[in-house]
Structure 1
Amino acid sequence: MLPYQTLQEAETSLGRNLTFAETLWFKYSAQKSDYILYCHNTLFLFVFYTIAPLPFVFIEFMQFKNIGKFKIQKKVKNSLSDMFRCYKTVMQTFVLAVGPLQLFSYPVIEWIGIRTGLPLPSGSELFWQLLVYIVVEDYANYWLHRLLHCKWGYEKIHRVHHEYTAPIGFAAPYAHWAEVLILGFASFLGPLMVPGHMITFWLWMILRQVEAIETHSGYEFPWSPAKYIPFYGGAKYHDYHHYVGGKSQSNFASVFTYCDYIYGTDKGYRYQKQVLGKLTDKLRSNGEENGDAYHTSVQDLKYE
């Protein structure tokens, strides 16, 4: 809770006028405890995992010809009931896993010093802290995800997430409750190492959710701004991991691809991409369409 009763007190303490954003923050947060502000994170989970996948659901059922060609696994069709079942299961997992986590993790958040007061973080502070969070989460997630693909981890926990061999947006957090907690730890590591403002923490959690939904969307759009991010994996990269399923020892990356490249866990994907590229060139030279090339080529490959 802010230690000021009025805007004038806040401005006197800072020695300047509040910015527009700081004024909004004061009016919203002044009478709310830090714990209530932290609990907004759970609200964001429910809201964004409800709304963000809806455009992909709309595209799936409207079957726009010009957009449908960007679907990665074209032969897979998901019914509305299947999608709703997935959504309902995810919400139940959030209630059972994220709710208790919220209660037990707040003392840690308070201890490390994630602040809620004024001033708000600058644009450069936001950028660099979010960059640190992304890199830290990506590296930790790589190893935790890879660990979940060991025999025991896959059979007992991770196989739930791989029920979707063709991922959809609603399935981004579709997982065993233990996996939600395990991989959720990777998301908390950055803020634990470099604590910032609660606004930064919120933005990080929202950004992570949106990225996970995009990666599991099942569509690879050429106009996606994420394509311009260096070493970004994207939907097609992660789709390969799901398509191979339990046998997959490839493409463990959360956001970036550098860990897979450094540790040699993208060899199968690179080999598939090379073969698919040759197949595409051959089909084009013969004047044929390449709609099912992904599936016909991938089934003949031996994955490492």
Structure 2
Amino acid sequence: MLPYLDMQEAEASLGRELSFAEKLWFNYSAKKHDYFLHFHNFIFLLFFYSLIPLPYLLAELIRSKKIHKYKIQPKVKRSFSDMFNCYKNVMQVFLLVAGPLQIIAFSNIKMTGIRTSLPLPSKWEMFWQILVYFIIEDYFHYWIHRWLHTKWGYEKIHHVHHEYTAPFGFTAPYAHWAEILILGLPSFLGPAFVPGHIITYWLWFILRQTESIETHSGYEFPWSPSRYVPFYGGSEFHDYHHYVGGRSQSNFASVFTYCDYIYGTDKGYRYHKSLLHKSKKPSFK
């Protein structure tokens, strides 16, 4: 809730006229409690998880030759019921785990310094903060993911996520409830280390979820803008991790490739790619 009676008081406090975006923010958030604004993150989680995979779902069902040639494992076919069952299972975990977690986490989020106040952050401030969030999340995700591929971690927790050796969009968060908690933790570390505005916080989780859905989509599209991101792994990079399955000791990072390269956990993937290149095969199967 903003500490101003009206917009004029807000402008007097800042010593300038509010920008168009700040006026929109004032009109929306001025009378809303911070807890309500914080809970938006859970609403966005449900909304974007339901929306973003739909183009990939349609591509899988239609199987147009123009699109199907970009499928990484083209011999694997998914029915609507397969994908919808996955969606239902994930939504159940979201409602039973992620929802209560959002309720509990509010005080911790406030403690880190994430603000709802004016002024709004600049575009560059948001860009650099989100970049830091991606780097921090990627590094800690890498080590936790490696641990989940130990014998105990895989058999007790991580095997659920690997039930799909050929992933599709809805499988991105398909996992054991404990994995949702464990691998969700690195996503909160960036905002905790470098707190910003709650809008930046929302955007970070939306982008991270979008990226995760893309890497689990099962398709490697040449027109994807993420292909221009330095050191970005992408769909093919992570698809190999699922293709190998429980035996995989490769491609653990969530977003970038540098951790796997530095620590030598991309050797299997690079060798596999070299074999595909020699045989001129475009995909894993």
TM-score by length of 2: 0.99
In 2, the alpha carbon distance for the partners of 1:260 and 1:230 equals 14
Partner residue, 1:89: 89
Cα shift at 1:263: 0.4
- Ranges in structure 2 where 5+ consecutive residues have no aligned partner: none
Check if 1:294 corresponds to 2:249: no
- Which structure has the larger Rg over C-alpha atoms? 1
Partner residue, 1:175: 175
In 1, the alpha carbon distance for the partners of 2:284 and 2:259 equals 24
SS of the equivalent of 2:284 reads helix
Partner residue, 1:232: 232
Cα shift at 1:56: 0.5
C-alpha RMSD of matched pairs (Å): 0.8
In 2, the alpha carbon distance for the partners of 1:249 and 1:263 equals 11
In 1, the alpha carbon distance for the partners of 2:154 and 2:284 equals 26
Check if 1:127 corresponds to 2:127: yes
In 1, the alpha carbon distance for the partners of 2:77 and 2:199 equals 39
Q: 1:239-286 CA deviation, whole Å, 9 max, x = no partner?
A: 000000000000001000000000000000000011111111xxxxxx
In 1, the alpha carbon distance for the partners of 2:232 and 2:112 equals 30
Partner residue, 2:142: 142
Partner residue, 2:36: 36
In 2, the alpha carbon distance for the partners of 1:227 and 1:99 equals 33
Q: 1:131-155 CA deviation, whole Å, 9 max, x = no partner?
A: 1000000000000111100111101
Partner residue, 1:195: 195
SS of the equivalent of 2:5 reads coil
Q: What code does the residue aligned with 2:57 have?
A: V
Check if 1:213 corresponds to 2:213: yes
Partner residue, 1:284: none
The 4+ residue runs of structure 1 with deviation greater than 2 A are none
In 1, the alpha carbon distance for the partners of 2:268 and 2:224 equals 25
Partner residue, 2:154: 154
In 1, the alpha carbon distance for the partners of 2:218 and 2:284 equals 13
Cα shift at 1:31: 1.1
Partner residue, 1:12: 12
Q: 1:76-135 CA deviation, whole Å, 9 max, x = no partner?
A: 111101111000000000011111211221111111110001000011110110010000
Q: 1:199-237 CA deviation, whole Å, 9 max, x = no partner?
A: 000000000000000000000001111111111000000
Bigger relative contact order, structure 1 or 2, given CA contacts below 8 A and separation 6+?
A: 2
TM-score by length of 1: 0.92
